[in-house]
């Protein structure tokens, strides 16, 4: 039986972005239930019991994060991370463009649970349609009494507004996003303190990814037991997998966490384009280490991918067939990180540039003896030594392609050319 779509249940309905459509399809009932039947603390317990984990890349337990927010009469904020920029990822844009009310409903419930009366959407500057959809949806939510003062007669107030970024991948990192919301350069802040302690304007702040928040209304409406029954023991619920690259049917597929990679590629995505053999898979977005075909039977959940030396990341699966040059893949992804380094710390700023120079020369047949070791030592000098986690991300394409495809690097250097070119 095909999996019943939960997060994407509305996206193919005509006018799915409209509040009327959302209401017709049962929207905002979870909010009513949350406000009328549960105390904020009960909601935190419900989300803990659902074992929902963050969908922004790190997989941190959402209920735990809600619980970290201080109680009592302190000014607190909630931020909705719509900065989606991890190469290969295109799920948040879909959710925001086609079903913004689902995310708004989750945001209101989260704000009520942690006691925030002000929430912000931070959206990537490039998402012009998304900005328009957010603005319209928020205005309609106000008109229906789901936002503003005394929401649905509960006495709970919440204001929500949209802030548009202006082109910087690093602003997806939560503390960089807070700086950007404050009108500053989007450079990360040192953690700790974590945003739940010292966040926006120095106040406790709950930051969530769009997809994470989209899960919340369903958890409230159908209960944490139902939710936790989907997926695996440690990775519960549905996940939107973004599939791109050399498959027949690219796109977003909502499936339970723990679905085998083979099934996603060969059943849902229709198999390899032109039926060419598969060479490698990037399982969770540009910053996750590549996997080889031996890993095809892996289940797509946080724990299995960690065990395989990679990460679930954003669930963005990039499929590569045998015609792909793995040095070129590393080079392209490193170019991304070098371009997007915020420049604040030297290992990331200079290190990624040096890596790119070396990867370029290897790819173009000018690699030198010792370049592989040089790359490895650069990676060592970057990972774990940068101000924010971007440094760890930036070395993954190179480290993992050297690990699995070292012979390709050696071929380039020895024969002074790319075998694929």
Partner 1 sequence: MPEKPSRFRDPTKQSMLLTALYIAQEQYGYLSEEAMERTAARLGLTLKDVYSTASFYTMFRTQPLGKYVIQVCEGLSCFLVGGAERLVDYISRKLNIQPGQTTPDGLFTLQTVQCLASCGTSPTLKVNDELYEDMTPDKVDRLLDQLAGR
CB closer to partner 1, 109 vs 316: 316
**Site membership for partner 1, residue 186 (CB under 8 A):** yes
**Site membership for partner 1, residue 404 (CB under 8 A):** no
Angle 390-415/346-363 helices, nearest 10 degrees? 20
**Site membership for partner 1, residue 342 (CB under 8 A):** yes
CB closer to partner 1, 136 vs 332: 332
**φ, ψ for residue 87 (rounded to 5)?**
-55, 130
Cα–Cα distance between 376 and 370 in angstroms, integer?
10
54 binds, among partner 1, ligand FMN, none (CB under 5 to 8 A by kind): ligand FMN
CB closer to partner 1, 132 vs 222: 132
Of 267-306, which residues contact partner 1 (CB under 8 A)?
286
CB closer to ligand FMN, 157 vs 392: 392
**Site membership for ligand FMN, residue 170 (CB under 6 A):** yes
Residue in 17, 86, 173, 363 binding partner 1, rule: CB under 8 A: 86
Residue spans of beta strands (DSSP E) within 264-363: 278-282, 299-300, 316-321
Cα–Cα distance between 227 and 49 in angstroms, integer?
9
Residue in 83, 105, 140, 408 binding ligand FMN, rule: CB under 6 A: 83
Cα–Cα distance between 269 and 415 in angstroms, integer?
36
Cβ–Cβ under 8 Å, residues 262 and 294: no
Cis, bond preceding 303 (omega within 30 deg of 0): no
**Site membership for ligand FMN, residue 397 (CB under 6 A):** no
**Site membership for partner 1, residue 318 (CB under 8 A):** yes
**Site membership for ligand FMN, residue 81 (CB under 6 A):** yes
Cα–Cα distance between 221 and 102 in angstroms, integer?
12
Q: How far is CA 166 from CA 19, 187, 223, 254, 390, in A?
A: 28, 13, 38, 29, 19
Cα–Cα distance between 9 and 25 in angstroms, integer?
9
Overall size of the chain counted in residues: 421
**Site membership for partner 1, residue 252 (CB under 8 A):** yes
**Site membership for partner 1, residue 192 (CB under 8 A):** no
Number of residues that bind ligand FMN (CB under 6 A): 23
**Site membership for partner 1, residue 14 (CB under 8 A):** no
Contacts of 142 (CB under 8 A, 6+ apart): 148
CB closer to ligand FMN, 148 vs 389: 389
Residue in 17, 84, 105, 371 binding ligand FMN, rule: CB under 6 A: 84
3-state secondary structure 171-192: HHCHHHHHHHHCCCCCCCCCCC
CB closer to partner 1, 48 vs 98: 98
**Site membership for partner 1, residue 421 (CB under 8 A):** no
192 conformational bin, left if phi > 0, alpha if psi -120 to 50, beta if neither: beta
409 binds, among partner 1, ligand FMN, none (CB under 5 to 8 A by kind): none
The closest of 339, 285, 338 to 315, measured between CA atoms, is 285
**Site membership for ligand FMN, residue 60 (CB under 6 A):** yes
Residue in 57, 63, 85, 351 binding partner 1, rule: CB under 8 A: 85
Cα–Cα distance between 136 and 143 in angstroms, integer?
11
Q: Which two tokens stand for residue 292?
A: 């080889």
**Site membership for ligand FMN, residue 64 (CB under 6 A):** no
**Site membership for ligand FMN, residue 187 (CB under 6 A):** no
Cα–Cα distance between 329 and 60 in angstroms, integer?
29
Cβ–Cβ under 8 Å, residues 43 and 37: no
CB atoms under 10 Å from CB of 134, counted, come to 26
Cα–Cα distance between 257 and 77 in angstroms, integer?
30
CB closer to partner 1, 183 vs 277: 183
**Site membership for partner 1, residue 213 (CB under 8 A):** no
Residue in 123, 316, 348, 356 binding partner 1, rule: CB under 8 A: 316
Burial of 107 by CB count in 10 Å (0-12 exposed, 13-18 middle, 19+ buried)? buried
Which of 17-25, 204-212, 214-222, 366-374 is the region at the interface with ligand FMN (rule: CB under 6 A)? 204-212
Task: Tell me which residues touch ligand FMN (CB under 6 A).
Answer: 54-58, 60, 81, 83-86, 170, 172-174, 207-209, 212, 388-390, 393
Task: Tell me which residues touch partner 1 (CB under 8 A).
Answer: 74, 84-90, 92-93, 124-129, 163-169, 180-187, 193, 197-198, 201-204, 242-246, 250-252, 286, 316, 318, 320, 324, 329, 332-333, 335-336, 339-340, 342
């Amino acid at each position: 039986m095909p999996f019943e779509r939960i997060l994407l249940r509305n996206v193919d309905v005509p006018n799915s972005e409209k509040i009327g459509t959302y209401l017709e399809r049962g929207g905002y009932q979870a909010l009513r239930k949350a406000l009328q039947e549960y105390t904020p603390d009960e909601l935190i317990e419900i989300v803990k019991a659902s074992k929902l984990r963050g969908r922004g890349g790190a997989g941190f337990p959402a209920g735990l994060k809600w619980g970290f927010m201080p109680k009592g009469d302190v000014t607190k904020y909630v931020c909705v991370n719509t900065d989606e920029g991890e190469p290969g990822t295109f799920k948040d844009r879909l959710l925001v463009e086609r079903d913004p009310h689902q995310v708004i409903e989750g945001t209101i419930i989260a704000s009520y649970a942690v006691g925030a009366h002000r929430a912000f959407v931070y959206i990537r500057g490039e998402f012009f349609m998304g900005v328009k959809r957010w603005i319209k949806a928020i205005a309609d939510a106000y008109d229906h009494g789901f936002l503003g003062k005394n929401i649905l007669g509960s006495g709970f107030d919440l204001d929500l507004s949209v802030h548009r970024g202006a082109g910087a991948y690093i602003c997806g990192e939560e503390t960089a996003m807070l700086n950007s919301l404050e009108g500053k350069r989007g450079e990360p802040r040192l953690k700790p303190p974590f945003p739940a302690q010292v966040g926006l304007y120095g106040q406790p702040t709950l930051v969530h990814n769009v997809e994470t928040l989209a899960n919340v209304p369903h958890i409230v409406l159908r209960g944490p037991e139902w939710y936790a029954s989907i997926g695996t023991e440690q990775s519960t619920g549905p996940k939107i997998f973004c599939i791109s690259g050399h498959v027949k049917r690219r796109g977003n597929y909502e499936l339970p966490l723990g679905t085998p990679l083979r099934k996603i590629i060969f059943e849902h995505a229709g198999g390899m384009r032109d039926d060419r053999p598969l060479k490698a898979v990037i399982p969770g977005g540009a910053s996750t280490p590549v996997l080889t075909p031996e890993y095809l039977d892996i289940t797509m959940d946080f724990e299995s991918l960690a065990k395989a030396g990679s990460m679930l990341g954003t669930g963005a699966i990039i499929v590569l067939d045998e015609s792909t040059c793995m040095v070129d893949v590393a080079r392209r992804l490193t170019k991304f990180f070098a371009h997007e380094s915020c420049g604040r710390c030297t290992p990331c700023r200079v290190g990624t540039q040096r890596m790119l120079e070396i990867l370029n020369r290897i790819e173009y047949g000018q690699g030198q003896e010792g370049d592989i070791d040089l790359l490895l030592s650069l990676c060592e000098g970057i990972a774990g030594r940068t101000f924010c986690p971007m440094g760890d991300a930036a070395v993954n394409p190179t480290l993992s392609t050297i690990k699995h495809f070292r012979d390709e690097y050696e071929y380039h250097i020895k024969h002074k050319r790319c075998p694929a070119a």
